[in-house]
Structure 1
């Protein structure tokens, strides 16, 4: 079993049903609140990435990873429930969908946890020749006014290229263009963004031109994509350095 370590944290993939239940329990706390298991039909087809505190053994972050040989079956992804991804159906390289990413509210050092999770994903990307990563970044709550600056910044600077841009599929959406008439407050916008989305953007990622309201999870989903070839070389070197601290 491959494990990556950095400071007090260790990242690995699941190797038992107990690991999956632990991830589902953390997801429930983060997305729904309280005790329970957040589970759906996609879990069985995914590997689950776990980040644990090496001192306490506590699970501090997790996500699930669903692999695709190319874009031909992208309609089988979680994101395809909310977005028309037909433009990506022609993507001719391996892809992975990253879903249900969450960090325990009690965890500290979010930046270190994110770096370690991305290092684990980098190891998988390079092992499988993945060319594209995607998923839904989740803004807590469904009040779009809270994220006016964030959505305006995404519209102004981070929209998907027309070649790959997701289209509207569900009726309950928030078009980003509504907030595009003025320059956004970048600092306020970044503070309002989920940590995972900020890290996607720092690596050259892009987003859909609208958010989708998810009443089940009480979130606003934003489709997020990252072409591996767009990752800055310095960032890739850092992630590869973390990969070098692997324990098998």
Structure 2
């Protein structure tokens, strides 16, 4: 069972329907706005575990995400990501996997320690359960790729998935940035506009699909993102273990 306390924040697994409902309310607030009373929910919520990050002083839920555990790549077709990407190559992955999704931080909170605690909780679960791959959809806000061209150019140059795992196109509306972009990225702008969650994946050695899905329902552009645990640089592994301890 995941429990983690660091500074003013603590992370734990949801234990009740009320916990899951709280996560769904935060997701709706983060993704859609409103007054925090509506919920963002789908059928995958019943299959997943949910991690809640709370402010210890006030009990405020400041971050949440969910994850789906797989015994191996043969189960890849039952994931959320498989709705949008053809993941046949990953069926050959032989080892425990986790799909991480619906990650969000309360729009009223900007403390970088929140992200650190969330990753610490996920790291603890990964090492306790001998997980070998972490994956999911990493989202850019909005569906206009024009504001993220430097980020996509950097992904093209440095972070495309190995051919043996590369997802193929499945969604009807995609931005094929690896094939279409010809620009040299402005590294500063690329980093500035890269979503924080995706930036963290990449810092650990993660990789992405060669195209982004245009998801108008969620008002995002997202890329499939994978991370083989054995590929995390040793210094980064030590840092993650320290956070999760």
TM over 0.5: yes
Per-residue CA deviation, residues 41-95 of structure 1 (Å, 9 max, x unaligned), is 0000100011111111111111001000000010100000000000000100000
Q: Which residue of 2 aligns with 1:25?
A: 25
Structure 2 gaps, min length 5: none
- RMSD of the alignment, in Å? 1.2
Residues 1:100 and 2:102 are matched in the alignment: yes
* 8 Å contact from structure 2 (residues 2, 121) kept in 1: no
Deviation at 1:108, TM superposition (A): 2.5
Residues 1:11 and 2:11 are matched in the alignment: yes
Q: Which residue of 1 aligns with 2:40?
A: 38
Alignment of 1:124-135 (within 5 A): 124-135=125-136
> CA–CA distance in 2 between the matches of 1:138 and 1:187?
19
Per-residue CA deviation, residues 182-241 of structure 1 (Å, 9 max, x unaligned), is 310111111111110000000000000000011111111110000001111122112212
Structure 1 gaps, min length 5: none
* 8 Å contact from structure 2 (residues 99, 135) kept in 1: yes
**Secondary structure of 1:156 counterpart:** helix
When the two structures are aligned, how many residues end up with a matched partner? 243
> CA–CA distance in 2 between the matches of 1:182 and 1:2?
43
Q: Which residue of 2 aligns with 1:160?
A: 161
Instruction: Give 1:90's match in structure 2, choosing from 89, 92, 98.
Output: 92
Q: Which residue of 2 aligns with 1:62?
A: 64
> CA–CA distance in 1 between the matches of 2:180 and 2:193?
15
Residues 1:183 and 2:184 are matched in the alignment: yes
Deviation at 1:242, TM superposition (A): 2.4
Distance 1:185 1:38, change over 3 A: same
Residues 1:201 and 2:184 are matched in the alignment: no
Residues 1:220 and 2:201 are matched in the alignment: no
> CA–CA distance in 2 between the matches of 1:235 and 1:117?
16
Give TM-score, length-normalised by structure 2.
0.96
* 8 Å contact from structure 1 (residues 148, 179) kept in 2: no
Per-residue CA deviation, residues 98-145 of structure 1 (Å, 9 max, x unaligned), is 0000111111222x1122111111111112111000000011111111
Give TM-score, length-normalised by structure 1.
0.95
**Secondary structure of 1:106 counterpart:** coil
**Secondary structure of 1:209 counterpart:** coil
* 8 Å contact from structure 1 (residues 122, 240) kept in 2: yes
